[in-house]
Amino acid sequence: MSDGALSQAEIDALLSGVDSSSLGGPVPAKELSGNDDERMALQKLLDETCQNQSNALSTMTGVAVTISKPHVSFTNREKLVEQLPDKVAAVKVDFSSGFPGEHLFIMEEDIAKSLASMMNKEENIELDEMALSMIGEVVSQLVGTQITALTRATNNMSIASMSPETTNVPKAVVALPAGTFPCVEYELDLGNGQRQRFWEVYGSNVSHAIGNALNGNAAASARKASAAASISQQPAMAGMGGGMPGMGQANVQAVQFPNLMAQVTSQEQSNIGLIMDVYMEMTVELGRTKKLIKEILGMGEGTIIELDKLAGEPVDILVNHKLIAKGEVVVIDENFGVRVTEIVSPVERMGEMV
């Protein structure tokens, strides 16, 4: 018989707004064995984003950050809370469109302090409002790389997330999704060889929608490949002696397309050669914004300036102040660089000049 005292699980449930009646005992293993196709699709997507996420954090902190390949599994609130340290930095960054729903990152308090210290170039930093804002920016970068990868993989151009809301709270009050949900565990090396854990949590409806989109696109690609293979075999079949009764033998020939590449004459090549050694100014632009004079005069150390670019969007590459390409920022040794991901079409360039 109960003595009337609340158990730790019931206390955690009350603090987080979860109905304690659902915590009557361990959750059976079958309730934590979510859709394996969904888990594998999410695992593959996140595996492919790790390097870009590591590069983004290296750029922000100035040290060689390494994020290990993630491990995706299904869990519930009780089991996840058991793994968390007593106090954590929780960043709520729900998806607002594309795959709308719950999404958050959870990291150990020490990791959050280390990241904020590196970004602010200050030791022994406390997790005050400014430091928590920096952690929100870190998570924005992580989410930005995921949105870029998701957009490419699903062709869903509407994917976007909410602005991050960062708190430093006891683990019992972290707002986690209800029921069974996918949890991603990462290991983070901040350049000192020590691996520390942080977690990413998706609402079950979000992961289900993402899994369906990823698996649906994979199935569609397989169907297209199969159809292409079938078409490529048709000419060979048409040339065989036995056709369908009553039908003439089809004369199938491969389609010949003209060469669409512009031919450069020797005279034109000579003219271009005259300017090959001319220097031109190349600029990589992260983004722009407009501020009132009083806002500019009020800037100081630690001021954060919000630009007109979303986290994870490609940066603009300009030559003589004209947009010619887009790319992503990389770190080469200790220098910044930019990897070209898209060449702007002549039509778009003309539009910029108008």
pLDDT tens-place string over residues 276-324: 778 888 898 888 888 888 888 888 888 888 888 887 788 999 888 888 8
Confidence of residue 70 (pLDDT cuts 50, 70, 90): very high
| pTM summary value | 0.57
Q: Are strands 87-92 and 165-170 parallel, antiparallel or unpaired?
A: antiparallel
pLDDT higher at 10 or 146:
146
- Please state, in angstroms and rounded to a whole number, the distance separating the CA atoms of residues 64 and 189: 8
User: Do 177 and 34 meet the contact criterion of CB atoms below 8 Å apart?
Assistant: no
Confidence of residue 350 (pLDDT cuts 50, 70, 90): low
First to last CA, the chain: 80
Residue 323: predicted pLDDT: 87
Instruction: Select from 129, 139, 111, 136 the least CA-distant residue to 53.
Output: 139
Residue 24: predicted pLDDT: 42
Confidence of residue 234 (pLDDT cuts 50, 70, 90): low
pLDDT at residue 25 greater than cutoff 90: no
Confidence of residue 233 (pLDDT cuts 50, 70, 90): low
pLDDT at residue 344 greater than cutoff 90: no
Confidence of residue 240 (pLDDT cuts 50, 70, 90): very low
User: Do 182 and 35 meet the contact criterion of CB atoms below 8 Å apart?
Assistant: no
- Please state, in angstroms and rounded to a whole number, the distance separating the CA atoms of residues 146 and 152: 10
Q: Compute the mean pLDDT over every residue in the chain, rounded to the nearest whole number.
A: 79
pLDDT tens-place string over residues 137-187: 999 999 999 999 999 999 888 999 999 999 999 999 999 999 999 999 999
pLDDT higher at 121 or 186:
186
Could you say which architecture CATH assigns to the domain 8-214? 3-Layer(aba) Sandwich (3.40)
Residue 147: predicted pLDDT: 92
Q: Are strands 160-161 and 95-97 parallel, antiparallel or unpaired?
A: antiparallel
**Alpha helices, DSSP H, located in 172-288:** 204-238, 266-273
Q: What is the CATH code of the structural domain delimited by 275-354? A: 2.30.330.10
Q: Is 190 helix (H, G, I), strand (E, B) or coil?
A: coil
Instruction: Select from 336, 140, 68 the least CA-distant residue to 327.
Output: 336
Cβ count near 9 (within 10 Å): 19
CA angle 144, 212, 31 (to 5 degrees): 100
Residue 28: predicted pLDDT: 38
pLDDT at residue 29 greater than cutoff 50: no
- Residue spans per domain, the chain: 8-214, 275-354
In the chain, beta strands by DSSP E: 66-67, 71-75, 87-92, 95-97, 103-108, 160-161, 165-170, 181-189, 195-202, 282-285, 315-319, 322-332, 335-343
**What letter would DSSP give residue 176?**
-
pLDDT at residue 92 greater than cutoff 90: yes
